């Protein structure tokens, strides 16, 4: 086996960081460019800022169009922006592509766009040799007034870190949808599997509403949605981008029983499993009550899970009632099933 081969999933964080530092070009209108832990690019358009994000869906096959719209919209919303336009590159596997498959994916994209008030603006579709499943790569464009722009790199020492929503919603739905037959064969109750499959829509993988609620309720310094690498990696990304340490109590993180059961079945750590559907918000301590009250009124689970420490500080974690080394995941836990 070639020791240089990388497993499926994101590039290792340190490798990606090196590549972004080496191969990027400065542009005065590029207000936010490529950087570890940063959700989207921001371009100065004068009276407004254009926010742009691209992200592919490669693991999921069921509801792949719905995933593609929502995960891209999430990264626009956490910048304080409103998602406006979506473009999709749809790659269908040669030898398996049918008109019904193409129609199903486009129907999912259209439904997801309609739910968010987003316009499908274009893209590209082809039947591609060498694929064993469809792949959808999406690009979402949004806009925000310059004074309302938020950056995941703006966490301040002393900020509270709040978690809105539960984890790992996307990972739970993905396992239940892709591994239903296997789970039934293992003796899982069909009602648990159906509930887990339903996580895609309830509570859902979109954080657009949560991000808008948070930005309107309190003076938020930074937001970020943890995706590949799970909650633990999302926190690490915020800390790395902002140059601060973090003290995190993972014991207060809300992990649904369905997620606990499916993770246990495959030996996965919920903290490292793809976590779209959750939102991280850093804010001054005197703003925390405002945020939590607003979330409670909206029926959105939310709790403070830690705080930012000194510039250049380390990440510390409490788990199982004890201080433990901060959990790190070179690759998302989902790759242990689908990689």
Can you spell out the DSSP letters for 270-312? GGGS--BTBEEEEE-GGGHHHHHHHHHHHT--EEEEEEEEEET
* Longest pairwise C-alpha distance within the chain: 59
CATH entry 3.30.1330.10 includes domain 13-148: yes
Residues of the chain with CATH 3.90.650.10: 160-338
Q: Which residue has the tokens 């059961």?
A: 261
pLDDT value for 6: 85
Q: With b meaning 16 or more CB within 10 Å and e meaning fewer, what string describes 80-118? A: bbbbbbbbbbbbbbeeebeeeeeebbbebbeebbebbeb
End-to-end CA distance of the chain: 16
pLDDT value for 1: 67
DSSP-derived letter for residue 147 is G
pLDDT value for 339: 63
Which of 174, 211, 156 minimizes the C-alpha distance to 39? 211
pLDDT tens-digit profile, the chain (339 residues): 677 888 777 788 788 888 988 888 889 999 999 887 787 999 999 999 999 999 999 877 789 999 999 999 999 999 999 999 999 999 999 999 999 999 999 999 999 999 999 999 999 999 999 999 999 999 999 999 999 999 999 999 999 999 999 999 999 999 999 999 999 999 999 999 999 999 999 999 999 999 999 999 999 999 999 999 999 999 999 999 999 999 999 999 999 999 999 999 999 999 999 999 999 999 999 999 999 999 999 999 999 999 999 999 999 999 999 999 999 998 899 999 986
pLDDT value for 338: 82
Q: In what order do the strands lie in the sheet with 244-249?
A: 222-224, 279-283, 160-164, 302-311, 244-249, 315-319, 322-324
CATH entry 3.40.190.10 includes domain 160-338: no
Residues of the chain with CATH 3.30.1330.10: 13-148
């Amino acid at each position: 086996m070639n020791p240089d081969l990388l497993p499926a999933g994101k590039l290792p964080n340190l490798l990606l960081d090196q590549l972004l530092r080496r191969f990027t070009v400065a542009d005065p209108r590029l207000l936010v460019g490529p950087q570890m832990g940063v959700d989207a690019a921001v371009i100065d358009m004068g009276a407004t800022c254009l926010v742009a994000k691209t992200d592919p869906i490669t693991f999921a096959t069921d509801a792949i169009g719905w995933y593609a719209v929502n995960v891209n919209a999430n990264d626009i919303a956490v910048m304080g922006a409103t998602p406006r336009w979506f473009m999709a590159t749809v790659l269908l596997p040669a030898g398996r592509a049918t008109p019904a498959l193409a129609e199903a994916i486009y129907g999912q994209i259209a439904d997801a766009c309609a739910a968010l008030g987003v316009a499908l603006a274009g893209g590209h579709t082809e039947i591609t040799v060498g694929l064993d499943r469809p792949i959808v790569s999406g690009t979402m464009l949004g806009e925000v007034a310059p004074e309302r722009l938020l950056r995941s790199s703006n966490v301040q020492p002393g900020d509270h870190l709040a978690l809105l929503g539960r984890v790992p919603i996307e990972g739970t739905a993905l396992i239940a949808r892709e591994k239903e037959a296997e789970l039934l064969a293992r003796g899982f109750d069909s009602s648990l599997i159906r509930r887990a499959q339903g996580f895609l829509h309830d509570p859902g993988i979109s954080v657009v509403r949560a991000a808008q609620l948070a930005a309107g309720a309190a003076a938020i310094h930074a937001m970020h949605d943890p995706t590949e690498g799970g909650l633990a990696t999302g926190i690490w990304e915020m800390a790395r981008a902002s140059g601060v340490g973090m003290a995190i109590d993972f014991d207060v993180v809300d992990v649904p029983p369905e997620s606990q059961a499916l993770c246990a079945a495959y030996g996965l750590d919920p903290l490292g499993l793809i976590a779209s559907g959750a939102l991280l918000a850093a804010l001054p301590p005197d703003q925390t009550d405002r945020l939590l009250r607003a979330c409670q009124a909206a029926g959105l689970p939310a709790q403070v899970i830690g705080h930012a420490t000194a510039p250049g500080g380390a990440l510390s974690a409490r788990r199982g009632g004890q201080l433990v080394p901060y959990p790190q995941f070179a690759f998302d836990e989902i790759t242990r099933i689908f990689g």
